[in-house]
Amino acid sequence: MLFLNLAFMAKKQKKQKRDTADDRSLITVDPALSSFDGHPFFEKKAADSKALLEKVGIPKPQPPKS
Protein backbone atom coordinates (compact mmCIF):
# COMPACT_ATOMS: atom_id res chain seq x y z
CA MET A 1 0.00 0.00 0.00
CA LEU A 2 2.83 2.35 0.92
CA PHE A 3 4.51 1.57 -2.36
CA LEU A 4 1.32 2.38 -4.24
CA ASN A 5 0.98 5.68 -2.38
CA LEU A 6 4.57 6.59 -3.15
CA ALA A 7 4.11 5.68 -6.78
CA PHE A 8 0.94 7.80 -6.90
CA MET A 9 2.73 10.78 -5.29
CA ALA A 10 5.68 10.46 -7.64
CA LYS A 11 3.35 10.38 -10.64
CA LYS A 12 1.42 13.37 -9.32
CA GLN A 13 4.61 15.37 -8.70
CA LYS A 14 5.88 14.50 -12.15
CA LYS A 15 2.61 15.69 -13.70
CA GLN A 16 2.68 18.92 -11.67
CA LYS A 17 6.25 19.60 -12.70
CA ARG A 18 5.38 19.07 -16.34
CA ASP A 19 2.30 21.29 -16.09
CA THR A 20 4.19 24.18 -14.53
CA ALA A 21 7.02 23.81 -17.01
CA ASP A 22 4.46 24.10 -19.80
CA ASP A 23 2.97 27.21 -18.21
CA ARG A 24 6.22 29.10 -18.19
CA SER A 25 7.50 30.07 -21.60
CA LEU A 26 11.17 30.06 -22.38
CA ILE A 27 12.69 33.38 -23.32
CA THR A 28 15.11 33.39 -26.21
CA VAL A 29 18.13 35.55 -25.46
CA ASP A 30 19.86 37.44 -28.25
CA PRO A 31 23.34 38.31 -26.93
CA ALA A 32 23.73 40.85 -29.73
CA LEU A 33 20.63 42.82 -28.72
CA SER A 34 21.60 46.19 -27.27
CA SER A 35 20.46 47.08 -23.76
CA PHE A 36 19.73 50.63 -25.00
CA ASP A 37 20.90 51.85 -21.60
CA GLY A 38 21.01 55.62 -21.56
CA HIS A 39 19.16 55.90 -24.86
CA PRO A 40 17.33 59.25 -24.85
CA PHE A 41 14.12 57.72 -26.21
CA PHE A 42 13.71 55.43 -23.20
CA GLU A 43 15.33 57.83 -20.73
CA LYS A 44 12.75 60.50 -21.53
CA LYS A 45 9.86 58.04 -21.12
CA ALA A 46 11.30 56.90 -17.80
CA ALA A 47 11.84 60.47 -16.61
CA ASP A 48 8.25 61.41 -17.50
CA SER A 49 6.85 58.39 -15.65
CA LYS A 50 9.07 59.02 -12.65
CA ALA A 51 7.88 62.63 -12.47
CA LEU A 52 4.29 61.42 -12.58
CA LEU A 53 4.90 58.85 -9.82
CA GLU A 54 6.55 61.51 -7.66
CA LYS A 55 3.34 63.50 -8.00
CA VAL A 56 0.74 60.76 -7.52
CA GLY A 57 2.60 58.12 -5.49
CA ILE A 58 2.30 54.37 -5.82
CA PRO A 59 -0.79 52.33 -4.95
CA LYS A 60 -0.43 49.82 -2.16
CA PRO A 61 -2.13 46.50 -2.83
CA GLN A 62 -5.04 45.93 -0.45
CA PRO A 63 -4.88 42.72 1.58
CA PRO A 64 -7.60 40.26 0.61
CA LYS A 65 -10.83 40.68 2.58
CA SER A 66 -11.41 37.91 5.08
Partner 1 sequence: MFVAEKYEYTADKTFKVYSFISYGPKGAIHKIAKFNELYADIYNFGFGDHDLVSGAFSDTRISNNEDMSIIMGTLGNIVYDFTNVFPNAKVMIRGTSIARTRLYQMHINRFLPQLEPLFLIYGLRNERWESLKQGRNYDAFLSYRRIIIQ
Binding-site ranges for partner 1 (CB under 8 A): 20, 22-25, 27-31, 33-36, 39, 41-43, 45-46, 49-50, 52-53, 55-59, 61
In whole angstroms, the minimum distance from the beta carbon of 22 to partner 1 comes to: 8
Residues 22 and 10: their CA atoms lie apart, in Å, by 18
In whole angstroms, the minimum distance from the beta carbon of 52 to partner 1 comes to: 7
CB nearer to partner 1: give 4 or 24: 24
Residues 53 and 45: their CA atoms lie apart, in Å, by 12
> Hey, CA dihedral for 44, 48, 51, 57, is it positive or negative?
negative
